[in-house]
């Protein structure tokens, strides 16, 4: 294909008007937020909404305004520490861009929307759901939900889809985040949760960090890693970039993007060759070792080096350190998982953990680092397309029967599993889905190949968006309903360690805005299908969630709000009942999984892992390259990721002045050897093009990235969006998109982009 | 209440991840709300992500106070050097020019020199300063010497700096490798030392005979 398709150089003029009307504009502290003489009415102990660590913090509240933040030193995970996003998150509340009314699309109005009475917006949405489902079938109306919601809301969204709308098509934005880790964990361990509390990092001899930009994406975890190193741990980092956590690591493995399975196969090859494996653990607690050993036999250091671009001596050093360690912790994040073979990557990493036998013990651990503000809880209780509460499966008759019983409905009326978030967009494009409601999802920025996404959204007959700001996706909506910020509602979230924690309400929703769960219930009521969707509070939802999750793998039945508050959180699984002779979890629940002798509802005492025989699975991980490799036409690898001052699609953080000032706009990061070849110097405008789109940004020329790879952070919208370039290839199992590898060409831009003069950096 | 003697401030640039949590936290300080008194810079971003945070070092004999013609800058007995007192400060900029660490900032709109006072509103009531509370990597840390010795067995605190002929002792410590002979950080000498490490970084991505990338 010659050049990019479907891209115009300027955004539609309506978009400019919408930006003028609804932002993103920048908020800075002023008035009561700047006046040190103002005494807060209250300090609300709660947690950060930006990232999966969900650090404890106290919000300072005066007259229904969050005026600032105060460290919560007692909360054990972060002990008062906060990253810049946490410190400035209060500026999203009472923001000038905050939606105070419902809106409906009206091209004659400024910004393309006019206000609408809340009740009318609810009635219209219910009417359109009714019409679309009656005309095209129930599955023609889809829901997109999010993992930055409280767990109560995610539970409600699943119930709304499966019981009220009875549509198969609900999925969530964790599809872009946690699903490869989740699927890998389920295949290997039978359970999808970090296996260890973070304190186990502190006692590890070797810490292997794979595809996790810890310092920028999980900043507080930095202190755990470096505290371990103070005590003698060796830190190995696998990344195509020398990120801040890699800067001082003991061994850096500069993997070529998309080649991680090859690396872990190569490490396991050496572990087996040198007998750096725990044969007794493998024999007693695992299944599948021989087949995996046969697979990795061909992964000699030489071949591994050829595929991964990592020197033989570094691969040997990593294998030796990992292989001979007494204690260890392996963690990974999206760098390993955002691939069309993300599940294979995860399984190959788990193989080296299982072969070492170092899991289920103090200081011997494994975890994926959760990305979103409820990335763990948001993936457990039924808003995934194939899932029911408690981590149950929508395709499993026994699970359907149990949940239908809790909900008071016929299991036969539950839909069958639907499709993933990106396939929902494809179905919209094909005309199979005609109506959509989204909450906590900004697909126009966050999904790959977003020129296609925009084109699809324009085909919808009806699109309702619940949001607190006019996100870039909301601009495509027929109706926008004003939802709630995290600080305007209460509930629970589950942070990266699997610790269920309390979100406390700090302020009331402004104007006509409502807690999201009330909006959903109002729609159900307007549909005349409010049965099971008439909760009076998040607390009532949580009580039902306890029951709905009971006996499942993600068992919350023993957790209560009171127990959470008393113990600084409770780690699931936390059953309310266990068989005779089995010890109940302690007050903090189950901080560490897979401990010897532990009981779970699948193995029923046969062993510590969540399979009927109690054994973990080693999975054969054949190396498969990325979906789109470089070629003559597109010779450079593009990889994408985050910066520390922004969160996800930036719908919140691109409105917070001090965070935008830290990193105002995305840049194309490239090595000087590549830059010289392209005739680009630091600060030049450069254009990156893929087969799907192009993007002109300033270049950042640094030696901290592989010379065959460029990096663009993905938090920005419109013509600054990295996802104009990315590929919608997905993992066949997890359906995660391949954000971390696609092929591009880069050239010095002929002129500054059209947006440079007319848009502010965050817009 | 004075800041307790046992509690000290430690800067460990080796741990800095450049996240700017300290800068954002500093703007939340009740003694200068909305203004950051912290300097955080990349050393050489073209070649490294290394950043260095600088708070006021709180000198025993503060140069800023010594050069102040209006006697506006006070050091309390607990060793904290405070922002210029508003009625006295004549906004002459002497302190800004003289401070060897580049700490004081002239707020022209307020005609006032402002600087880090180690969050006196917090530290004087037993709380940690904002920056050291928030710092996710604890490059900025606040606690006792014993705590630091236990948490950082490979580092030691140094609080003497050499700038040409001037020797400065400070309340704030900087962490250096424990096994190094360094007792005094000679700042001006270091400015003339060649940078090291770039060759090593380049080598990380150098195509070698034993790997497949080009």
3-class SS letters over A9-43: CCCCHHHHHHHHHHCCCCECCCHHHCCCCCCCCEE
Last residue of a domain, one of A92, A116, A141: A92
Last residue of a domain, one of A312, A335, A368: A368
Residues A310 and A394 in one domain: no
For the beta sheet containing A42-47, the strands, ordered from the edge strand earlier in sequence to the opposite edge, are A42-47, A56-62, A65-71
Q: Is the predicted pLDDT of residue A673 greater than 60, yes or no?
A: yes
- The answer to whether position B109 is within a domain reads yes
- The answer to whether position A146 is within a domain reads yes
Q: Which of residues 97-136 of B touch A (CB under 8 A)?
A: 128, 133-136
Higher pLDDT, A399 or A17: A399
Smallest CA-to-CA distance from A742 within A455, A449, A452, A450 is with A449
Lowest mean pLDDT among A101-110, A320-329, A636-645, B201-210: B201-210
Preceding peptide of A573 cis, ω within 30°? yes
- The answer to whether position A541 is within a domain reads yes
Q: Which of residues 643-702 of A touch B (CB under 8 A)?
A: 644-645, 658-659, 662, 671-672, 682, 701-702
- The answer to whether position A574 is within a domain reads no
Report the alpha-carbon distance of residue A181 to residue B186 in Å, rounded. 49
Domain CATH for A341: 3.40.228.10
Domain CATH for A114: 3.40.50.740
Domain CATH for A50: 3.30.200.210
pLDDT tens across A18-70, in order? Answer: 999 999 999 999 999 999 899 999 999 999 999 999 999 999 999 999 999 99
Bridge partners (DSSP) listed for residue B11: B140, B174
Residue A583, phi-psi category: left (phi > 0), alpha (psi -120 to 50), beta (remainder) = beta
Kindly report the average pLDDT of chain B as a whole number: 91
Q: What are phi and psi of A574, to 5 degrees?
A: -140, 80
pLDDT tens across A145-195, in order? Answer: 999 999 999 999 999 999 999 999 999 999 999 999 999 999 999 999 999
Residues A166 and A204 in one domain: no
Residues A216 and A112 in one domain: no
H or E segment at A373? none
3-state DSSP assignment of residue B186:
strand
- The answer to whether position A387 is within a domain reads yes
Report the alpha-carbon distance of residue A548 to residue A752 in Å, rounded. 55
Report the alpha-carbon distance of residue A213 to residue A219 in Å, rounded. 9
Residues A163 and A117 in one domain: yes
Domain count along chain A: 4
Smallest CA-to-CA distance from A555 within A500, A510, A637 is with A500
Q: What integer pLDDT is reported at residue A49 of this predicted model? A: 98
Helices (H) and strands (E) in chain B, counts: 8, 9
Return the structure tokens found at A391. Answer: 């981590």
Bridge partners (DSSP) listed for residue A62: A65
Q: What integer pLDDT is reported at residue A9 of this predicted model? A: 38
Q: What integer pLDDT is reported at residue A6 of this predicted model? A: 42
DSSP A596-659: TT---TTTTTS-SSSSTT--EE---------SS---SSS-EEEEEE--TT--TT-TTGGGBHHH
Q: What's the distance, CA A66 to chain centroid?
A: 26
Residues A362 and A247 in one domain: yes
Q: What integer pLDDT is reported at residue B201 of this predicted model? A: 57
Residues A162 and A266 in one domain: no
Q: What integer pLDDT is reported at residue B202 of this predicted model? A: 57
Return the structure tokens found at A505. Answer: 């309400």
- The answer to whether position B2 is within a domain reads no
- The answer to whether position A610 is within a domain reads no
**C-alpha to C-alpha distances, A672 to A236, A638, A749, nearest whole angstrom:** 25, 16, 17
Q: Which residues of chain B have pLDDT under 50?
A: 210-214
Specify the length of chain B in residues: 214
- The answer to whether position A620 is within a domain reads no
H helix runs in A629-754, sequence order: 657-662, 672-678
Q: Is the predicted pLDDT of residue A655 greater than 80, yes or no?
A: yes
- The answer to whether position B110 is within a domain reads yes
Report the alpha-carbon distance of residue A190 to residue A615 in Å, rounded. 9
Q: Is the predicted pLDDT of residue A4 greater than 90, yes or no?
A: no
**Domain limits for position B49:** 8-204
Q: Is the predicted pLDDT of residue A10 greater than 60, yes or no?
A: no
Last residue of a domain, one of A549, A583, A598: A549
Q: Is the predicted pLDDT of residue A551 greater than 80, yes or no?
A: yes
Q: Which of residues 42-81 of B touch A (CB under 8 A)?
A: 45-51
Residues A293 and A432 in one domain: no
- The answer to whether position B209 is within a domain reads no
Q: What is the crossing angle of helices A151-159 and A516-526, to 10°?
A: 20
Report the alpha-carbon distance of residue A620 to residue B29 in Å, rounded. 54
**C-alpha to C-alpha distances, B122 to A37, B4, B27, B28, nearest whole angstrom:** 15, 12, 14, 12
Report the alpha-carbon distance of residue A627 to residue A726 in Å, rounded. 11
Domain count along chain B: 1
3-class SS letters over A459-523: CCCEEEEEECCCCCCHHHCCEEEECCCHHHCCEEEECCCCEEEEECCCCCCCCCCCCHHHHHHHH
- The answer to whether position B56 is within a domain reads yes
Mean pLDDT value of segment A320-324: 98
- The answer to whether position B16 is within a domain reads yes
3-state DSSP assignment of residue A184:
helix
Q: How many CA atoms lie within 13 A of A185 on its CB side?
A: 24
Size of interface A-B (CB pairs under 8 A): 149
Q: Which residue, chain included where needed, has tokens 């001082």?
A: A248
Any A CB within 8 A of B30 CB: yes
H or E segment at A158? helix A151-159
Nearest to B212 among A242, A309, A662 (CB): A309
Smallest CA-to-CA distance from A701 within A693, A716, A711, A691 is with A711
**Domain limits for position A696:** 636-758
Chain B residues within 8 A of A36 when measuring between CB atoms: 30-31, 33
* Gap from B196 CA to chain A (nearest CA, Å): 14
3-state DSSP assignment of residue A420:
coil
Domain CATH for B155: 3.30.70.20
Q: Which residue of chain A comes nearest to B23, CA vs CA?
A: A84
pLDDT tens across A587-599, in order? Answer: 999 999 999 999 9
Q: Is the predicted pLDDT of residue A131 greater than 70, yes or no?
A: yes
**C-alpha to C-alpha distances, B183 to A24, B159, B163, B176, B180, nearest whole angstrom:** 51, 8, 14, 9, 8
Mutate to test the interface with B, among A32, A38, A84, A496 (most CBs of B within 10 A): A84
**DSSP letter assigned to residue A536:** S
- The answer to whether position B187 is within a domain reads yes
Any B CB within 8 A of A87 CB: yes
Report the alpha-carbon distance of residue A417 to residue A397 in Å, rounded. 12
Mark yes or no for CB contact A242/B153 under 8 Å.
no
Residues A87 and A159 in one domain: no
Q: Which residue, chain included where needed, has tokens 């759901």?
A: A129
Return the structure tokens found at A469. Answer: 């700001």
- The answer to whether position A599 is within a domain reads no
Q: Is the predicted pLDDT of residue A1 greater than 50, yes or no?
A: no
Any B CB within 8 A of A306 CB: yes
- The answer to whether position A232 is within a domain reads yes
Kindly report the average pLDDT of chain A as a whole number: 96
pLDDT tens across A202-260, in order? Answer: 999 999 999 999 999 999 999 999 999 999 999 999 999 999 999 999 999 999 999 99
Report the alpha-carbon distance of residue A286 to residue A275 in Å, rounded. 17
Q: pTM of this prediction? A: 0.96
């Amino acid at each position: 294909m010659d050049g990019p398709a479907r891209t115009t150089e300027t955004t539609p003029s309506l978009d400019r008007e919408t930006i003028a009307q609804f932002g993103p504009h920048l908020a800075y502290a002023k008035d009561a937020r700047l006046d040190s003489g103002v005494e807060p009415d209250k300090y609300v102990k709660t947690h950060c909404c930006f990232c999966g660590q969900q650090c404890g913090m106290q919000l300072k509240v005066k007259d229904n305004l969050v005026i600032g933040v105060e460290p919560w030193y007692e909360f054990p995970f972060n002990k008062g520490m906060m990253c810049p996003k946490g410190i400035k998150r209060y500026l999203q509340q009472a923001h000038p861009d905050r939606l105070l009314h419902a809106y409906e699309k009206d091209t004659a109005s400024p910004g393309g929307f006019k206000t609408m009475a809340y009740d009318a917006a609810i009635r219209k949405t219910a009417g359109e759901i009714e019409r679309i489902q009656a005309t095209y079938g129930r599955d023609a109306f889809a829901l997109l939900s999010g993992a930055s919601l409280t767990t109560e809301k995610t539970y409600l969204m699943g119930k709304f889809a499966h019981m009220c709308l009875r549509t198969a098509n609900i999925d969530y934005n964790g599809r872009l985040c946690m699903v490869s880790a989740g699927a890998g964990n389920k295949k290997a361990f039978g359970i999808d949760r970090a296996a260890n509390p973070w304190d186990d990092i502190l006692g590890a001899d070797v810490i292997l960090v794979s595809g996790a930009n810890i310092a920028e994406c999980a900043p507080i975890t930095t202190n755990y890693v470096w505290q371990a190193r103070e005590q003698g741990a060796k830190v190995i980092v696998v990344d195509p970039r020398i990120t801040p956590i890699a800067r001082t690591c003991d061994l850096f493995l500069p993997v070529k993007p998309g080649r991680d399975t090859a690396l872990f196969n190569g490490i396991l090859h050496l572990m087996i060759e040198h007998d750096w494996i725990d044969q007794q653990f493998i024999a007693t607690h695992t299944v599948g070792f021989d087949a995996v050993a046969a697979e990795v036999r061909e992964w000699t250091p030489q071949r591994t080096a050829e595929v991964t671009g990592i020197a033989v001596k570094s691969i040997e050093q990593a294998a030796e350190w990992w292989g001979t360690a007494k204690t260890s912790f392996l963690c990974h994040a999206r760098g390993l998982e955002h691939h069309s073979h993300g599940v294979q990557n995860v399984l190959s990493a788990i193989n080296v953990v299982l072969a070492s036998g170092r899991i289920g013990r103090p200081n011997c651990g494994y975890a994926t680092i959760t990305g979103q503000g409820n990335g763990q809880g948001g993936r457990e209780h039924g808003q995934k397309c194939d899932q029911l509460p408690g981590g149950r499966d929508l395709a499993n008759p026994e699970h359907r029967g149990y949940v239908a019983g809790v909900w008071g409905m016929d299991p036969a009326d539950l839909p069958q599993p639907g499709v993933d978030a990106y396939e929902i967009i494809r179905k919209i494009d094909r005309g199979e889905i005609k109506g959509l409601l989204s909450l906590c999802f900004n697909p126009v920025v966050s999904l790959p190949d977003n020129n296609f996404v925009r084109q699809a959204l324009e085909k919808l007959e009806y699109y309702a968006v619940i949001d607190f700001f006019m996100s870039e996706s909301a601009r495509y909506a027929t109706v926008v309903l004003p939802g709630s910020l995290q600080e305007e509602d209460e509930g629970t979230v589950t942070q990266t360690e699997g610790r269920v924690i309390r979100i406390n309400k700090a302020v009331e929703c402004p104007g006509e805005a409502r807690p999201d769960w009330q909006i959903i219930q109002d729609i159900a009521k307007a549909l005349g299908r409010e049965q099971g969707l008439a909760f009076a509070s998040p607390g009532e939802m949580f009580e039902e969630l306890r029951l709905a999750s009971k006996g499942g793998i993600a068992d919350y039945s023993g957790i209560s709000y009171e127990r959470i508050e008393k113990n600084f959180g409770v780690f699931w699984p936390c059953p309310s009942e266990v068989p005779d002779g089995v010890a109940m979890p302690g007050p903090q629940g189950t901080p560490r999984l897979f401990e010897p002798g532990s009981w779970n509802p699948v193995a029923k005492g046969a062993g510590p892992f969540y399979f009927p025989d109690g054994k973990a699975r080693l999975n054969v991980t054949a190396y498969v390259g990325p979906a789109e490799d470089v070629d003559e036409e597109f010779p450079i690898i593009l990889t994408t990721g985050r910066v520390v001052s922004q969160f996800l699609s930036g719908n919140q953080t691109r409105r917070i002045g001090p965070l935008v000032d830290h990193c105002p706009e995305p840049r194309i990061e490239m090595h000087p050897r590549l830059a010289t070849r392209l005739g680009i110097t630091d600060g030049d405008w450069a254009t990156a093009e893929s087969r799907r789109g192009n993007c002109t940004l300033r270049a950042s020329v640094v030696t901290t990235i592989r010379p065959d790879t460029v990096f663009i952070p993905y938090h920005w919208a419109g013509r600054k969006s990295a996802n104009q370039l990315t590929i919608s290839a997905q993992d066949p199992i997890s359906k995660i998109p391949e954000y971390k590898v696609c092929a591009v060409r880069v050239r010095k831009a002929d002129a500054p982009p059209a947006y440079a003069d007319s848009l502010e950096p965050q817009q | 209440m004075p800041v307790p003697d046992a509690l000290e401030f430690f800067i460990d640039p080796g741990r800095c991840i450049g996240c700017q949590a300290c800068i954002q936290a500093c703007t939340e300080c009740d003694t200068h709300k909305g203004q950051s008194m912290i300097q955080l810079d990349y050393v050489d971003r073209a070649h490294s992500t290394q950043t260095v945070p600088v708070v006021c070092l709180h000198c025993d004999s503060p140069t800023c106070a010594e050069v102040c013609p209006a006697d506006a800058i006070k050091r309390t007995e607990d060793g904290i050097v405070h922002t210029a007192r508003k009625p006295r400060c004549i906004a002459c900029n002497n302190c800004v020019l003289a401070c060897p660490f580049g700490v004081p900032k002239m707020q022209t709109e307020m005609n006032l020199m402002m600087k880090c006072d180690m969050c006196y509103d917090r530290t004087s009531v037993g709380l940690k300063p904002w920056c050291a509370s928030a710092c996710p990597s604890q490059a900025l840390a606040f606690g006792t010497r014993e705590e630091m010795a236990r948490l950082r067995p490979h580092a030691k605190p140094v609080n003497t700096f050499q700038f040409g002929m001037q020797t400065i002792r400070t309340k704030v410590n900087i962490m250096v490798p424990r096994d190094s002979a360094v007792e005094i950080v000679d700042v001006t000498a270091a400015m003339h030392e060649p940078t090291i490490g770039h060759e090593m970084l380049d080598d990380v991505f150098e195509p070698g005979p034993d790997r497949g990338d080009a």
